[in-house]
């Protein structure tokens, strides 16, 4: 299914609005509520991994299955 707004952009928007730090479960809830299509947790994690590889975010493991996502800034 085609998405009108890429999942990456939605995730980055939500992280910026939350003072650059947010837990993954809170971010997933916000992303899911703000889209008009179904977002699976697997797709969400793949998007996080792609954003981390590209250098936009940093994902840290706080404890088992709890991650802290930090916005690092836009790349130029």
Q: Report pLDDT digits (tens) over 31-74.
A: 999 887 888 999 999 999 999 999 999 999 999 889 999 998 76
Do the Cβ atoms of 58 and 70 come closer than 8 Å? yes
User: So what's the pLDDT on residue 16?
Assistant: 87
Q: In a 3-state reduction of DSSP, which class is residue 31?
A: helix
Per-residue confidence band for 17, with pLDDT thresholds at 50, 70 and 90: confident
Residues 38 and 11: their CA atoms lie apart, in Å, by: 14
Answer positive or negative: Cα dihedral of 12, 23, 29, 37: positive
Residues 33 and 65: their CA atoms lie apart, in Å, by: 21
User: Which residue segments constitute the domains of the chain, with CATH numbers given?
Assistant: 9-71 (1.10.10.10)
């Amino acid at each position: 299914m085609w998405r009108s707004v890429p999942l990456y952009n939605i995730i980055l928007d939500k992280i910026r609005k939350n003072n650059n730090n947010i837990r993954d479960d809170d971010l997933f809830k916000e992303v899911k509520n703000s889209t008009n299509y179904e977002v699976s947790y697997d797709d969400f994690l793949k998007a996080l991994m792609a954003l981390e590889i590209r250098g936009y975010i940093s994902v840290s493991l706080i404890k088992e299955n709890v991650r802290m996502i930090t916005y690092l800034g836009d790349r130029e």
